[in-house]
Amino acid sequence: MSEIVVVAEMEILPGKRDEALAALEELCQQTHANDEGCLLYALQVNPADENQVFMIEKWESVEHLQTHGGADHIKAFGESGVLAGAPTVTVLKQAGYGDADKGAL
């Protein structure tokens, strides 16, 4: 199995920031508590644009990521109506350059 790193970029609808952050907090809590193979699931907020957020994720395998994608809490977040559109999801592969502790997520 090969670990998978994911960056999901999301745009919050204007006027929905507080509601979106509450929904994202619940999403993080549910993912941390329930999704096997989750190594990292961390929300990052763009300080220059309060409506742009990024979820940085690390999964044990693509299978774990796929299972997460079908989880009820992912579906509930998708139906929450707080985003301006679908997240832009990028699945990455570690390059593995440099120091093993500093050069990889």
Query: What size, in residues, is the chain?
Result: 105
Query: What per-residue confidence (pLDDT) applies to 1?
Result: 53
Q: What is the dihedral of CA 35, 36, 37, 43, to 10 degrees?
A: 20
Nearest to 59 by CA among 30, 95, 31, 29: 31
pLDDT digits (tens, 9 = 90+) for 13-63: 999 999 999 999 999 999 999 999 999 999 999 999 999 999 999 999 999
CA–CA separation, 40 and 46 (whole Å): 19
Average pLDDT, the chain: 95
The CATH T-level fold of domain 4-92 is: Alpha-Beta Plaits (3.30.70)
Q: pLDDT confidence of 100, banded at 50, 70, 90? A: confident
CA–CA separation, 23 and 75 (whole Å): 12
Q: pLDDT confidence of 2, banded at 50, 70, 90? A: confident
- What residues does each domain of the chain span? 4-92
Residue 94 has pLDDT above 90, yes or no: no
Who contacts 38 (Cβ-Cβ below 8 Å, separation ≥6)?
Answer: 31, 32, 57, 58, 59, 60, 64, 68
Q: pLDDT confidence of 72, banded at 50, 70, 90? A: very high
17 and 51 Cβ atoms separated by less than 8 Å: yes
- Tokens linked to 64: 């774990």
